[in-house]
Amino acid sequence: ETGVTQTPRHLVMGMTNKKSLKCEQHLGHNAMYWYKQSAKKPLELMFVYNFKEQTENNSVPSRFSPECPNSSHLFLHLHTLQPEDSALYLCASSHSWDSGVNTGELFFGEGSRLTVL
């Protein structure tokens, strides 16, 4: 298994659909992240989980709902999205910031390309 796996890789949905993005990491990390990447913009941090607890919600609209059932899995539930939400959604993991071994390095999955019609 590769380090950080995201599914699906591509998703097309209508504005009234409900879908979910899934992320799984096999690196033994305890921190997981959702980032949004739009064209010509910096990576935008959306959510951070540390040991399954959400530690950051970067003013993300409620139509994005994260879930972290354990340190290895992270979901992003999508509901009533807008066309401007079309982007590449990247999951990442790292050692916990409290672990003493965190260097700040993030390990990214391949991303889920979302298109909202």
Interacting residue with other proteins among 28, 69, 83, 104 (CB under 8 A): 104
The rounded distance, in Å, linking the Cα atoms of 53 and 38 is: 26
User: Nearest CA to 111 among 15, 37, 41?
Assistant: 37
The first and second tokens of residue 24, run together, are: 């799984």
Question: Tokens 């796996």, residue?
Answer: 5
Q: Is 10 in the site for other proteins (CB under 8 A)?
A: no
Q: Is 97 in the site for other proteins (CB under 8 A)?
A: yes
* Nearest distance in Å: CB 97, other proteins: 4
Q: Which stretch binds other proteins (CB under 8 A): 11-19, 21-29, 49-57, 61-69?
A: 49-57
